[in-house]
Amino acid sequence: MFDKFRDECGVFGIFGHPEASNHAYLGLYALQHRGQESAGIAASDGQIVRVSRAMGYVNEAFDTASLAKLPGRMAVGHVRYSTAGESRIANAQPILIDSVHGQLAVAHNGNIVNASELRDALVRLGAIFQATTDTEVIVHLFARSREEGPEAAIVDALSQVRGAYSLVLMTKDRLIGARDPHGFRPLAIGRLGDAWVICSETCAMDLIGATYLRDVEPGEVVVISEQGLKSIRPFTPAPKAQCIFEHVYFSRPDSYVFGESVNEVRTEFGRKLAHESGVEADVIVPIPDSGVCAAIGFSEASGIPMRMGLIRNHYVGRTFIEPQQSIRHFGVRVKLNPVRSILEGQRVVLVDDSIVRGTTSRKIVRMVRSAGAREVHMRISCPPTISPCFYGVDTPRRSELIAATHTLEEIRKYLNADSVAYLSMDGMTGAVRGGKQSYCTSCYTGVYPVAFPRDEEAYLQLALKLNPDAEELDLPITIPDLEKDPVAR
């Protein structure tokens, strides 16, 4: 919403419930923050898998009549924001195919970094692609697999892809969850009575009354059938690289992600930020909604009261149209409004989760000053974002990331703040279980755990090397050597 990294996708699956598609609808509703471009549900009655997909929000994509056409005790669902591939209905998920291994519905969160080369190879072998997503590569590999049966064919397909995937897949009688060996994106398992649920975030379980059991582990494939849950670990183990940005911004604070409460992690980011970069001030003001948890932690640790000095308009939709030329340039004020009674004459600490381009932060500082703040100090609950993501998150070009191209003092001047401070890398990774050994932090370091071919950059729309200015930056991009680093393969 405000100059942020864009969310990726949300996935949901349920097995063994008479109202499977209705529950998938509700689950997707809870995961709406992970993708707003399209929504889809596939359901199986044990014999036939049917799918319905549409552009738009979940509540626009489905109604009672369309859900009634998805009968059965199993369903998988997907909300999409396009990280790879264009925004069009052909790219909406779940993808449903019929093959020699039977029907397969696939819902994917993540990004396959070798999708382009696999796709080229498949096209040379005669494969015909209908969409432009990396996910379609997985279904082609599945359909062409010579392994016996759908489970073995899925493992065969996944063993050929590199990168980030948390998948829910469905055959006519099985629900399958799979997470890549690094575990970039989250995937949780829960129970709803006798039914099983697999989804991106536990907030989807809360809405339908399911209980969170555990995560699908990195490199694990779980197969749920009438016989219960079977776990297999068919891939070579790899170092964990869970996306730390899920805790910083993407996931809902009421979710458990990677086994930890997002709210607690985010609040701890704020506490650590206060310890590292405290400042004399009168009031802590979160930038809603993303800065609230960290601001609570900052306030707790600093002893400075937190107040809602900025109010967000929750009813600004995707299609806000400025009504008339003469009253244009509402800018950020359409979405946020300052509370003068809280800000006037005060030394204010603004707390937000991240700065991407800096344009919105600059407008917010100006707005807070215009409401009478005496001083404005900006505190950010993660380190400076200096590099794009290749693992399923839409990020601007590196040249557009303000922290990649400006010093801290230059950022302070640009924002017109009295001071600016970010949480340190140690502060961030010290707030999560497993620390830096368990997390991907590439967008803060430029060091990537999984190699991507150079020509993938264009495919990923990130244009790291297409931008001539990016070459001139004195910030290292470390890409593992494919020959020397077996893990990166």
Query: Smaller CB distance to ligand SF4: residue 163 or 291?
Result: 163
Query: Per-residue x/- marks for ligand SF4, 431-470, CB under 6 A?
Result: ---------xxxx---------------------------
Query: Smaller CB distance to ligand SF4: residue 212 or 448?
Result: 448
In what helix (H) or strand (E) does residue 350 lie, and over which residues does it extend? strand 347-352
Question: Rounded to whole angstroms, how far apart are CA atoms 444 and 60?
Answer: 36
Query: Smaller CB distance to ligand SF4: residue 309 or 446?
Result: 446
Query: Smaller CB distance to ligand SF4: residue 134 or 151?
Result: 134
Query: Smaller CB distance to ligand SF4: residue 6 or 307?
Result: 6
Residues 357-416 close enough to bind ligand SF4 by CB under 6 A: 389, 391, 393
**Closest CB 385 distance from ligand SF4, rounded Å:** 8
38 forms beta bridges with 55, 80
Query: Smaller CB distance to ligand SF4: residue 365 or 440?
Result: 440
DSSP string, 230-268: EEE--S------EETHIIIIIS-TTSEETTEEHHHHHHH
Task: Judge if the upstream peptide bond of residue 289 is cis by omega within 30 degrees of 0.
Answer: yes
Q: How far is residue 426 CA from its own chain's centroid?
A: 22
Query: Smaller CB distance to ligand SF4: residue 5 or 15?
Result: 5
Residues 72-101 close enough to bind ligand SF4 by CB under 6 A: none
189 forms beta bridges with 198, 214
Exactly one of 9, 199, 389, 443 is catalytic; name it: 9
**Closest CB 110 distance from ligand SF4, rounded Å:** 9
285 forms beta bridges with 350
Q: Is 239 left (phi over 0), alpha (psi -120 to 50) or beta?
A: beta
Query: Per-residue x/- marks for ligand SF4, 5-44, CB under 6 A?
Result: ----------------------------------------
Q: H helices within 241-291, ranges in order?
A: 245, 262-277
Backbone angles phi, psi at 232, to 5 degrees: -130, 155
**Closest CB 235 distance from ligand SF4, rounded Å:** 18
**Closest CB 91 distance from ligand SF4, rounded Å:** 20
9 is catalytic: yes
Sign of CA dihedral 27, 33, 34, 36: positive
**Closest CB 442 distance from ligand SF4, rounded Å:** 4
Residues 236-265 close enough to bind ligand SF4 by CB under 6 A: 243-245
Residue type, 38: S
Closest alpha carbon to 120 in 459, 401, 433: 459
Considering just the CA atoms, what is the radius of gyration of the chain in Å?
23
Sign of CA dihedral 266, 272, 273, 274: positive
Closest alpha carbon to 185 in 109, 263, 79, 260: 109
Query: Smaller CB distance to ligand SF4: residue 22 or 242?
Result: 242
Question: Rounded to whole angstroms, how far apart are CA atoms 317 and 331?
Answer: 14
Of 2, 62, 81, 184, the one binding ligand SF4 by CB under 6 A: 184
**Closest CB 122 distance from ligand SF4, rounded Å:** 26
**Closest CB 388 distance from ligand SF4, rounded Å:** 7
Query: Smaller CB distance to ligand SF4: residue 263 or 442?
Result: 442
**Closest CB 148 distance from ligand SF4, rounded Å:** 35
SS (H, E, C) 187-211: CEEEEECCEEEEECCCHHHHHHCCE
> ∠393-397-401 over CA atoms, to 5°?
95
| Number of residues in contact with ligand SF4 under rule CB under 6 A | 11
Q: Which two tokens stand for residue 486?
A: 């077996």
Q: Which two tokens stand for residue 324?
A: 């008339």
- Return the SS3 of 441: coil
Query: Per-residue x/- marks for ligand SF4, 203-242, CB under 6 A?
Result: ----------------------------------------
Query: Per-residue x/- marks for ligand SF4, 137-176, CB under 6 A?
Result: ----------------------------------------
Question: Rounded to whole angstroms, how far apart are CA atoms 238 and 27?
Answer: 30
Sign of CA dihedral 380, 384, 386, 387: negative
**Closest CB 33 distance from ligand SF4, rounded Å:** 15
Q: How far is residue 81 CA from its own chain's centroid?
A: 9
- Contact positions toward ligand SF4, by CB under 6 A? 184, 243-245, 389, 391, 393, 440-443
Q: Which residues participate in catalysis according to the annotation?
A: 9
